[in-house]
């Protein structure tokens, strides 16, 4: 039975239950993005919200530590300056990562990936991790997965994304059971499909503008698992469900 046939035979509610919903950089509408506050927000960890995940970006510091930060620089979301890769952990940990969002969040720290793993274990939080630095080595991928598995969080509760295919290949070399998603970047639909077909447990993470009815039909016919970013309305959510996406990313929980 094809994916399209399966979806045609079940209700919209049941499709929603099977949908992965990624809280973009945590509950970033309300809390400072990529912090323990945003990852630990109730609308992220609440198990009644069907299949909720947190999504976050990880970068590597000058001393090789893994920290949560979307931008290459510290300027936008902290009171620090410079590139993450040029600053050590001690410097980054001394920064205020909350006041840019609201003064009530003053003093919020940039979390390490290890701290996020601890939070995830406490709440059994599923996580969609983006590798946002330049190509990750096998050693760095081993460290990242070590923080997760050492704490006993099931491996099916983490999936990994990147614009860099080499980083994902290195992640899969460390653990072949980890699902990986290649970000669309400048790739064509056919290039994305070719990369996925050459690997097992690979899907695509694409901009919602690329998830047209035609493109989605092409992905589905090739048995490619598709996640999309970043939705802002419930109408967009229902449209993406109707087209057969498996996961959506949003800054807040989208409901009617």
- Bridge partners (DSSP) listed for residue 160: 129, 180
Dihedral, CA atoms, 170, 171, 173, 179, nearest 10 degrees?
Answer: -130
User: Pick from 59, 50, 49: which is nearest to 25 by CA?
Assistant: 59
Residue among 20, 24, 25, 237 flagged as catalytic: 24
CA distance linking residue 143 with residue 63, whole number of Å: 14
Residue among 59, 65, 70, 237 flagged as catalytic: 70
Q: Tell me the two tokens of residue 57.
A: 């970006």
123 belongs to the catalytic site: no
Q: How far is CA 86 from CA 68, 81, 133, 189, 225, in A?
A: 15, 10, 12, 35, 36
What residues are labeled active site?
Answer: 24, 70
């Amino acid at each position: 039975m094809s994916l399209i046939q399966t979806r045609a035979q079940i209700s919209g509610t049941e499709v929603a239950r099977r949908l992965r919903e990624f809280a973009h950089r945590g509950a970033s509408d309300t809390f400072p993005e990529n912090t323990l506050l945003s990852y630990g927000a109730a609308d992220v960890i609440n198990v009644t919200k069907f299949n909720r995940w947190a999504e976050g970006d990880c970068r590597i510091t000058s001393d090789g530590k893994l920290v949560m930060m979307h931008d290459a620089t510290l300027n936008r979301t902290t009171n620090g300056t410079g590139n993450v890769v040029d600053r050590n952990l001690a410097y980054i940990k001394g920064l205020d990562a909350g006041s840019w969002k609201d003064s009530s969040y003053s003093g919020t720290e940039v979390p390490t990936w290890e701290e996020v793993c601890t939070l995830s274990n406490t709440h059994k939080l599923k996580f969609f991790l983006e590798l946002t630095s330049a190509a990750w080595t096998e050693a760095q991928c081993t460290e990242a997965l070590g923080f997760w598995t050492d704490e006993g969080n099931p491996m099916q509760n983490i999936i990994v994304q990147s614009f860099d295919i080499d980083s994902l290949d290195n992640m899969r070399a460390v653990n072949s059971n980890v699902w990986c998603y290649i970000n669309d970047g400048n790739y064509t639909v056919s290039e994305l499909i070719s990369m996925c077909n050459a690997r097992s447990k690979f899907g695509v993470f694409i901009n919602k503008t690329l998830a047209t009815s035609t493109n989605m039909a092409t992905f589905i016919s090739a048995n490619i698992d598709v996640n999309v970013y970043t939705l802002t309305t419930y109408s967009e959510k229902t449209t993406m469900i109707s087209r057969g996406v498996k996961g959506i990313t949003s800054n807040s929980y989208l409901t009617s």
